[in-house]
Amino acid sequence: MKNTRIAPSLLSADFTKLADEIEMINQSDADYLHLDIMDGLFVPNITFGWPIIKQINTICQKPLDVHLMIEKPERYISEFAEAGADILTVHYEASTHLHRTVAAIKEAGMKAGVAINPHSPVSLLSEITGDVDLVLIMSVNPGFGGQAFIVNSLKKIAEVRRIFSENNDTVLIEVDGGVNLENASEIIEAGADILVAGNAVFKSANPMETIFQFKNL
């Protein structure tokens, strides 16, 4: 049975009870806590930055999976490292000098991820297959939670695995957007290693049980 990893997205949590929500994640079977950073420029929404992550890191016992949906992410690599990010993912579409950015993330002591939007072909990643630890496939257009899963993302998962198979067969494939218990099995079968789940976890009647169900599909 495949060891699928679950990364609940804090963006869907109740921010009036943030400490309680994080403690629930600590007690759950979740593998990571996924943190979406948006700047209102690269995507039409604004969330939070490294000062909040630094506070989250003081109480969260899971690795912090930080997803930068911001322009020129290379400007803030050291700040997110100091705040406690374990994985730092930048968008292909937002980073002009991607090799340099990925190298800087690793030099700062974090694992490096690259995300691609739904309209971006997987072939764009062919020149960095040996450099990244994680590929994040956006299965919705980034910027807001609660969107429906784009079915074509299933083909992209398999294509990432094929393109990376020669140079980096240990790369982790993460899928973010519209993931729920109804489609998770199909996403896993396509080759995903990490499922990011926001509303499916935090809006459920029993988030810890929902995480358990994800882990045991």
Q: Which residue would you say has higher pLDDT here, 132 or 141?
A: 132
Q: Can you give the pLDDT at residue 145? A: 67
**For residue 167, what pLDDT band results from cuts at 50, 70 and 90?**
confident
Structural domains present in the chain: 5-215 (3.20.20.70)
206: exposed, middle or buried (C-beta count within 10 Å: 0-12, 13-18, 19+)? exposed
Q: What integer pLDDT is reported at residue 1 of this predicted model?
A: 44
Query: pLDDT > 70: what percent of the chain?
Result: 98
Active site residues: 36, 176
127-139: average pLDDT: 96
Mean pLDDT of 31-44: 96
pLDDT at 21 > cutoff 60: yes
Binned at pLDDT 50, 70 and 90, residue 3 comes out as confident
Give the angle 202-92-179 at the CA atoms, nearest 5°. Answer: 25
> For the chain, what percent of residues have pLDDT higher than 90?
92
Q: Which two tokens stand for residue 63?
A: 């690795």
Q: How many CA atoms lie within 13 A of 216 on its CB side?
A: 8
